Homo-oligomer: A and B are copies of this chain.
């Protein structure tokens, strides 16, 4: 059994700051009051313990209140990515079979979602309340969140993240990073991603302030780091680059109380790490994913520079092995086990076991060096990581192939100075189509960041004898463009 995070935390340290946003602050006691109000309004809207809702909102305090309100009410939350296209959202809503969509008013206007049971943030706010008894303890296997992530098939799967998963993730992290009462975590990652959501979880488990930002504004963020008003931050390579550039332009360095820049969501160039060092930014590379409720391995601060480029060692409660290898240095698929690993999927993939013999196959390729440090050499061969967002080529290909004049499509990543990588498409047409038309077509089906940044029209795609698309060759083609 695991204590109801916010209930326990607000009883332990009610007057500590839990959340700050645009100069406003909420203590844990206030956060609990806000969440409690939401929970009772959710109950009034017919939602009962164990029900599943979907949530579409921005990274702001209202969203935090709704998230904690849902947890107090005992609901499972399908965290919808607000960058997705309306079609993608509708597909996930259908697959998740959520009782209700809770959607922020502005995002509803933008996405024009209709014909699903829903309630807006503002309607929820003006709802009546129904009293109920909040569970003090949670079963560790209780599903807290569901986040969709795609695989090689191009069909997103809803990944369950339980109370036990999230809790052990936060505990493993604290044993690596430590904790003081002065800690506060800058959150510029979207809350619908595990990178952002896990900061909310750490906050209530640790009794730590979250400094929430809806948008990533480089100058403001750098001010926080420079002035010592925050001590931790999670970044992807793209945001780290912006932060570095701002520090370099202003010729300043991080405040000595700033303790950890947790860099994940894909590879961080070595050059960034060196530049960060000279700006006194303690960058720790980390390796994690939706299926592991955030971090699986992270560098220790004492190794940050000596083992630059490594994702560190598997955190205290976690295990990693490299498939079919025995010696350090041997490359293979990264396999993960531990209390932070998802127990499974929902929806169409509900019967699929994410594990093989108790281990989560990641598709990523890596090795351990002779001191036991993990190096990730290549993400699963086809994955494109663009500004920290994962793009699965098969999903983009499916979208392209649904156009009547697209005969074949092959999508891969092309390196990009800002986003690390962007998707590009090689296309075999069966008639005349303009690039703009493909853009519009994809725009209706896909999140903006998934739309190919270039279309290369070719006579045929590289395939092997059994007609399988040769993705490696495709990548070579892209690198030559």
Contact = CB atoms under 8 A, between A and B. Distances in A.
A contact patch SS: mixed
Given A180-B180, A313-B12, A175 B174 contact: yes
A372 to B, nearest CB: 6
B11 A316 contact: no
A405 interface: no
A8 to B, nearest CB: 6
A137 B359 CA distance: 14
A300 interface: yes
Contacts of A372: 11
A2 B317 contact: yes
A66 interface: no
B205 A313 contact: no
A46 interface: no
A316 B178 contact: no
A317 B313 CA distance: 26
A300 B16 CA distance: 11
B178 A178 contact: yes
Contact of A301 (B176, B181, B301, B302): B181
A171 interface: yes
Nearest to A13: B300
A206 interface: yes
A3 interface: yes
Contacts of A8: 316
Nearest to A313: B12
A196 interface: no
Nearest to A170: B175
B180 A300 contact: no
Interface residues of A, number: 32
A301 B13 CA distance: 10
B179 A316 contact: no
Contact of A206 (B12, B175, B206): B175
A12 B339 CA distance: 18
Interface string A186-212: 000000000000000000011100000
A11 B303 CA distance: 13
B179 A179 contact: yes
A178 B175 contact: no
B12 A300 contact: yes
A441 to B, nearest CB: 49
Contacts of A15: 302
Contacts of A12: 176, 300, 313, 316
Nearest to A318: B3
Given A11-B372, A300-B12, A302-B13, A316 B3 contact: yes
A16 B178 CA distance: 15
Interface of A: 1-3, 8-9, 11-13, 15-16, 136-137, 171, 174-176, 178-181, 205-207, 300-302, 313, 316-317, 319, 339, 372
The 8 closest A-B pairs by CB, nearest first: A178-B179, A178-B180, A12-B313, A179-B179, A171-B171, A11-B372, A8-B316, A13-B300
